[in-house]
Structures are given as C-alpha cells and as structure tokens.
A = this chain, B = another copy of it.
Amino acid sequence: MSSSFGRLFKLTTWGESHGPALGVVIEGCPAGLRIELEDIQKDLDRRRVGQSIVTSTRDESDRVELLSGVFEGITTGAPISLLTHNSDQRSKNYDNLRDVFRPGHADFTYWAKYGHRDHRGGGRSSSRETWGRVAAGAIARKILAEFGVDVFGYAAEIGGIEMETFDRDQIEQNIVRCPDPVAAAKMVEAIVRVRKDRDSIGGIVEVRATGVPPGLGEPTFDKLDGLIGQAMLSIPATKGVEIGGGFRLARERGSRSNDPFVVEDGRIRTTSNHAGGTLGGLSTGEDIVVRVALKPTSSISREQDTVDVDLQPRKLVIEGRHDPCVVPRAVPVVEAMLALTLTDLLLVNRASRMHPTG
C-alpha cells in the first residue's frame, strides 16, 4: 500500500470518503516559504463538490486545517499536516450497496485484494481522496511560483466536444473550465443532457506548465515523462496520458516531428513543441503539455447488471449525488499532480552537479 508520492517533496494522503476526516502530510517542503491558508483553500474550492450544476450536489465545505510545519506563516522544514472533516457523510445512501460490486468501480478489486470492503461510497478509492493532492499541490505551486513556473489546466474535450480556440482568461469563467467559451457552452449542455439520461460522459483535461527550466527529470526511470505518467494515471478515472503530440506522433514522420532548435534572446528554444516540453525525459524549457483521458463516471443511476459477494447475479441502480462528468473538478487535481511532480524534480535536480549554478 503506497499512499505516498515524491522523493524529496513527498506527500502522503489518508482518509476515506465516509470516515470522519481526511488529510495529507507533506514532507520535504523547503524551509522559508510563506504560506497563507487562503492560497490552499482557493484551489480546494475549485475541486469542491456542489460548485455548479455540472457537479455532484453532495455538500462539503472542504475547509482546510493546518496542524504543523508552519510557524509564524513560514514553513520550517518540518512535515506539514493538513486536514479536513467530512461533513456530509450520509452513509445510509450506500446500505443497498453493502454486498454488491458496482460496475466500473473498485469494489470488486479491493475485495479481491484486501478480503473486505468499505461499501460506503468507495472508501479509499473514492475521488474524495484527491482533496489531499490538491491541498499539497497548492503548496507546490507556491514553490514553483518563486521559480517562475506556472501550472494551469483546462477541459480540452468533453463528450466528444473539443475546444477550438484558446483564451486562458476564459478558463475560470465557465463551469466546465474550458478556454473556448463556445465549446464550453456546448459541453455544459452535453453534461446536463447526459445527467437527465441518468448517464455520464468522459473527457480530456489538458495541463500546461510554463517557465520550467531545462534539465528537470531524472534518467533513467524517473524521467519527467515517466513520473507524469505515474502522477496522472494515479488519479481516479484516468485511462490515458500523452505528452505533447502524444498518440498523434505515432503517425508522423521524423522530419516533421523533430522540433528544430534555434537561439532566441540568448537561450536555446525550439520553433515547434511537438515534444511537449521534454526530450530524453528531461524538460527542454518549452511549455510542458500533458493530456489526460478521463472515462465517464462509473456511478450512473440506470439499472446495471452485476454480481454480489456471494457470486449471485444482481440488478443494481445507484442512487446518490454523483458528478455526471468528472472533467471540471478533475482540472485542479491534474494541475496539482503536475505541480507536485515538478516541485519534487526541481529539488532533486539540485543534486545533479557538483557545483550547481542557479
């Protein structure tokens, strides 16, 4: 069981969707960083349920408490412990699920692994676990900001509707977090329709990091690409990840997919960025560009065929207040995972040379 991520900047999340609380411990946050609770809360609010008509209507304040590692507003180098209490637990909603395996959920696989199950809303496998990632990610983003690195994500596609224009300022102006306001409106419509159908839809989150210095990533197995792969595919509901051109490059020729080097303003740049900001697993200094495929929410309120713990066939209707599409709330989670990955690599990178220069 590993609930930890990172080598030097490391987070450990704990807590279940219907337990009393959940939280995260962050080890290795460098001393001397100013942290305001509001910085953390702001990102958490973007992940919160009940924020709009396209998300679950469960009600959680997700209010963060800071228990250690910060003294007089400054990080001390000690572990930072952050916690939130679950307010809206309504476990009784789940009583009809006690013995049955929900299709598309982890009920069966946890049962196979651990010989038991926590039927109350997914327990540890619930996306509620991502609270701690976003909280830790907010701190990572504060660190990155001091080094000029910015991370932001958005809905690139929902239910087959792709964004066609890009205006960063638009992202937080619509409830699906799409940088294209026209596509955004269609995406909202699609989600509302699918909810009415008692169904769900998937989509793609794209995330970018700007200002990343060249050379981050650790050959051979902790390449930036590899760690991004682990980071993203550890998020619930993800089924694919690609860097830069990704799967499109599999159909390209080398003469078109190689990004030519040039010198601009005294530093080495590439004239295109098919590579998505990495070469040989190390950052190039161009934007890191990552796309993450999210499957449709597994909880749907249509009748489904399944089996129970006694290996008997069952008909199942899942009631409850689920997101018809996870993309809008996944955006801050994807951002957090990229920020955490980059922060860790930034610290690890300090050991690359005998006498670092920067």
Contact = CB atoms under 8 A, between A and B. Distances in A.
A251 interface: yes
Contacts of A4: 4, 10, 12, 27, 221
A31 B297 contact: no
> Which bracket fits the contact residues of A?
35 or more
A274 B218 CA distance: 33
A12 B255 CA distance: 34
Interface in A216-262: 216-223, 225-234, 236, 238-247, 249-255, 257-262
A125 B280 contact: yes
A218 B79 CA distance: 12
Given A4-B221, A252-B202, A123 B76 contact: yes
A148 interface: no
Contact of A78 (B123, B233, B260): B123
Nearest to A324: B254
Interface stretch (A48-56, A165-173, A179-187, A345-353): A345-353
Contact of A226 (B79, B160, B214, B229): B229
Contacts of A13: 79, 220
Contacts of A279: 104-106, 108-109
A2 B27 contact: yes
Contact of A246 (B123, B239, B274): B239
A296 B10 CA distance: 34
Contacts of A32: 114-116, 353-355
Contacts of A222: 2, 234
Given A14-B78, A32-B116, A230-B230, A194 B253 contact: yes
Given A104-B259, A108-B214, A240-B247, A28 B219 contact: no
Given A228-B229, A263-B313, 11 more contacts: A2-B7, A3-B220, A12-B25, A12-B27, A22-B67, A31-B353, A78-B124, A109-B282, A199-B254, A200-B253, A254-B297
